[in-house]
Amino acid sequence: MRRSGWVRGLLSGAAVALLALPAPAAAYRSVAGDRRSRLAPLAVAQHPGAERFSLDYEQSCRAFRADVESARQRGFPVESGEILVPSKMFGDNALSIPWALYAPRQGRTESQSVLVKISGVHGRNEGAAGAALEAATVAGLETLEQAQFALLNIHAYNAFGYRTGRRVAEGGEDCLRNCRLEGDDLFAMKNQGYDDLRGALEPPGEVRNPRLEGVRVAAGILGSLFRTPNLKANIAAQQQAIAGGQFRWRKGMFFGGQEPVPQLEGVRRVVTELTALFKMRIFADLHTGFGPARGLQVITEDEVSEREAAALVGSVPADSGILLASDPRAGESASRRAL
């Protein structure tokens, strides 16, 4: 390995260990290869209301429903509803996932495509950012209409995590790693790499000094990197072991669950029924903490045209300074696991 590459690898490994977190790209490793889209920078809109980045679940849901009524007043046909999420903590009727399908004003036709946006998979922070992006797209429905796109927004997928400020669902599941394709024996998957690292990632006992515990975790992870001479391969394997998901340890990191979360079937049914007519379906699963600051990063296995990329966010006034781009340095491509 060239010196510069070795140094970068060492620094990357140290960063992983000190933060006790994988590089973001590792969470999106694809089993189908590493084909990354390459897009020219595309200016998109930022919703002007900072209040749309709401950390309050109920307030965010009210704003989502207000957007539905606003679109109807602008003449757009809208179908909307709620998917109830049963909860032991809050009761069976307290949590829901609002959804809305916005069609072009001329109505739905077989020549149209549909953009499906799913927000809040990882609870509050991603829910707040996703809510603002959903609102921006609703504000730009006229642009989507010109491109012959309908829009399906699914808000606060992890309603429990949004309401409580947690990243995971009520049962401790990471909802991203809980999604499976039909016939996919996801929950039987073994992650020996995580099992080997578990002693470092999940030290026993009460956390009395978070900084000291962080050093202990970092030391354990760093030590595992040097077990074999191939440091670069060790870093990649470690990232995948941590972020690839595990289905055994409920209190561990990136626990994918042992069965589907209760909302999965309802969301799957809504998406399947409402999008069956359209000639093309683009799914955008909205996450945070990846790519450049103030930027929107598109991670996909397939080549994406600028027209399709514009549909992902809804091209409205281009003076916000936010860019949508795909960066070849971003790492691995997105997982194709979908609802």
The verdict on 287 and 149 lying in the same domain is yes
Please state, in angstroms and rounded to a whole number, the distance separating the CA atoms of residues 273 and 280: 14
Q: At 121, which CATH number?
A: 3.40.630.10
Token pair for 101: 């399908």
Summarize the confidence of residues 218-226 as an average pLDDT. Answer: 80
Q: Would the pTM of this model clear 0.85, i.e. be above it?
A: no
Domain membership of residue 236 (yes or no) is yes
- The count of structural domains within the chain is 2
Q: Could you report the per-residue pLDDT of 8-17, keeping only the tens digit for each?
A: 332 233 333 3
Nearest in space to 313 (alpha carbons), one of 195, 60, 172, 143: 143
Query: Per the domain annotation, does 111 fall within a domain?
Result: yes
Residue 39 has pLDDT above 50, yes or no: no
Task: With a cut of 50, say whether residue 211 has pLDDT above it.
Answer: yes
Distance of CA 227 to CAs 85, 231, 234, Å?
45, 9, 8
Residue 39 maps to a domain: no
Instruction: For residues 197 and 266, state if they share a domain.
Output: no
Residues 73, 151, single domain; the answer is: yes
Residue 145 in domain: yes
Residues 213 and 288 in one domain: no
pLDDT at 69: 97
Distance (Å) of CA 91 to CA 29, 84, 95, 292, 301? 36, 10, 8, 39, 39
* 238, 96: one domain: no
The answer on 230 and 147 residing in a single domain is no
Asked, for residue 120, whether it belongs to a domain, the answer is yes
| Average pLDDT score over residue span 219-224 | 81
Residues whose CB falls within 8 Å of the CB of residue 328, separated by 6 or more in sequence, listed in order: 36, 38
Strand partners, 282: 115
Co-location of 220 and 265 in the same domain: no
| 19-28, 93-102, 323-332, range with the lowest pLDDT | 19-28
Please give the residue range of the domain that contains residue 231: 3-30+183-243
The reply to whether 327 falls in a domain is no
> Can you tell me the mean pLDDT for 32-39?
31
Most confident among 5-9, 140-144, 284-288, 293-297 (mean pLDDT): 140-144
Q: Are residues 117 and 155 in the same domain?
A: yes
Q: Would you say residue 309 lies in a domain?
A: no
Same-domain pairing of 54 and 80: yes
The confidence score (pLDDT) of residue 203 equals 81
Instruction: Indicate if the pLDDT at residue 323 is higher than 70.
Output: no
pLDDT at 64: 95
For residues 75 and 137, state if they share a domain.
Answer: yes
pLDDT one-digit tens code per residue, 53-89: 889 999 999 999 999 999 999 999 999 999 999 999 9
- Over range 156-175, report the average pLDDT: 95
Whether 187 and 231 map to the same domain: the answer is: yes
134 lies in some domain: yes
- 157 and 67 in a single domain? The answer is yes
Q: Are strands 280-285 and 96-102 parallel, antiparallel or unpaired?
A: unpaired
